[in-house]
Amino acid sequence: MKLVGRVALFGTLLLALLGNYHAQANVIQVALTKMARSSEVDWLHSRYRNALNAAAPSEKVNLADDNSTTTQSASANSATPQVINVDAAETRIFSGEGSHTIQVTVGGQPRTLIIDTGSGKTAFVCEGCNNCGTRHENAPFQFTSNTKYLTCASSNSCAECTTEGKCKYSQVYVEGDYWLANKVSDVMAFAPKNQPAFQAPVNFGCIYAQDGVFNTQTSDGIMGFSKHADSIFEQFYQHKVTKSRIFSQCLSQNGGILTLGGVDMSINYDPVVYTPIRNTGFQYWTVTLLSISIGSTELEIDNKVYNKHRGTVFDSGTTFVYMPLAIEAPLKAAWAKAVGDDQFPISDYYYDLTEAQLAHLPDICFHLLNDAKVCVPPSLYFYRVGVGKYAGTLFFGDGAKSLIIGASALTNHNVIYDVDNLRIGVAKANCEATVSSTATDNSTTTSAVMVELSINPGGDKFRSISPAIGSYDALVQWILASATFLGVIGLVNALWMELKDIKAEKAHQAQLAKQGDVNVNEADGGRVPSASSCALLDEEEEDRTSAFSFILMRDDDERQVV
């Protein structure tokens, strides 16, 4: 009975610990909205208008001198669209004004934020920010009673401190656009307050100064979804709102769906195929690109070009596709071979195309490791700038040191980002599927809904990575692991001590039996074994306890070593 009691005690303690750790969690699914691609599209339109001033509309117009050395225009950050040189296209100004946004509340105040898998920080303008633009959808964020400044002592990711000890938070982009903020915390919600399962306290940047595209965009700020400790999917997981760090984006031409903590497999047209994430030392979602094809024609180029420097990156905050200059000539050659004309969809030109001609063009496909692929139809690698007029949306340059698969290429794909299994999954999907909406005053307000979605969608897994050292989740898991280990040791010790007591008692009874001094109580069903059977029992007990004894002895020896 003593043994049973000890086992029950340790089992109860372990179950209590585990029960407290696994708090109720949910999968969150919300609708994405689509904002005007002001930076990129205004730029394409302005180039087209300037071309019309210099040539007849029916002619193909070269908008850049291929032999000239282009430099970044100082007017790239101007609020008025102007013609800028081609190389500026590959800079982060084009990802700063992304086309897909999400509506959340922070501190009870609505925010419209760009979904960006190319960065990990979330930030938006706060009250007191001077010259921070006038086009934002919502008024600057006002501090609430729950808004707290993070100090350098409280934030592991604080790279710089103010004189008051506040944590500085900032991001500077390739072309010079930037935002500066203080790192603060408040409650972010994906749904109204009456659905607390969809909210969590999060850290974000409270912007007090910014420049460039951040002043001209209509969205309030940016929401980071890269492999970063401050990414929203990571913060919601750390607060046990979601059970998994997996999330998926399904971008459409009208909006799309974001699923946090799970995957909606019901919207897929094709099976999901996974490709492993490369560990490049950067926070980006980097994959291995094996080849690019136009229809059935593959580019003739060493695929090392695709994977140099930062490599091939999935970035929903970048509007179009940006490639290193070394890819341009092979891509043009493959286009001529596959299509038979020179209407190559580079951003340097615009073309006269009918809808029928456009539909007849082949897909451009990016073939990834493990047979995953992303295919871009002509309706997405050409952009309509006028009646029957289209501009190419393939940009080339080396400033980004990366091949960026942006939102135009990811559109109509359910893209699954799974950091724990170090993989990205891709499947063609119905990204126009409705999440939930309620009509109010002739307007549509999108909110989160409870959905039963797959937390573990299966498929190829490449390896698992642990939570960041020093994180709250890692600490909890370490404590649980320690408690579990101690519990097992306690159980083993209880078994060993119990067996040892039984063994000693039986040995004592055997010795008394030999001397003829034992009185057996028949009412209790007691029986004294013979000397031979007792000796056999001793051998069996030695076999059953030797391994346990060795482990405990080894632990004891280690504890004694100083």
Catalytic residues: 116, 315
Alpha helices in 277-365 (DSSP H): 328-339, 355-360
Q: Report residue 72: phi and psi, to 5°.
A: -70, 135
Per-residue H/E/C for 50-92: HHHHHCCCCCCCCCCCCCCCCCCCHHHHCCCCCCCCHHHHHCC
Give the SS3 label for residue 219.
coil
Give the SS3 label for residue 462.
coil
Sign, Cα dihedral of 28, 29, 34, 40: positive
Return the closest-CA partner of residue 447 out of 204, 122, 105, 24. 105
Neighbouring C-alpha atoms within 13 Å toward the C-beta of 197: 16
Return the closest-CA partner of residue 118 out of 281, 260, 341, 284. 284
Q: Is the Cβ–Cβ distance between 28 and 259 less than 8 Å?
A: yes
Instruction: For residues 26 and 240, give the distance between their C-alpha atoms in angstroms, rounded to a whole number.
Output: 9
Check residue 326 and report its DSSP letter. G
Return the closest-CA partner of residue 178 out of 209, 133, 205. 209
Return the closest-CA partner of residue 450 out of 436, 433, 434, 431. 436
Instruction: For residues 138 and 255, give the distance between their C-alpha atoms in angstroms, rounded to a whole number.
Output: 19
Residue recorded with tokens 């656009």: 177
Instruction: For residues 425 and 246, give the distance between their C-alpha atoms in angstroms, rounded to a whole number.
Output: 11
Report CA dihedral (33, 39, 42, 48) to the nearest 10 degrees: -130
Return the closest-CA partner of residue 216 out of 143, 301, 131, 140. 131
Q: Is the Cβ–Cβ distance between 349 and 61 less than 8 Å?
A: yes
Q: Is the Cβ–Cβ distance between 276 and 370 less than 8 Å?
A: yes
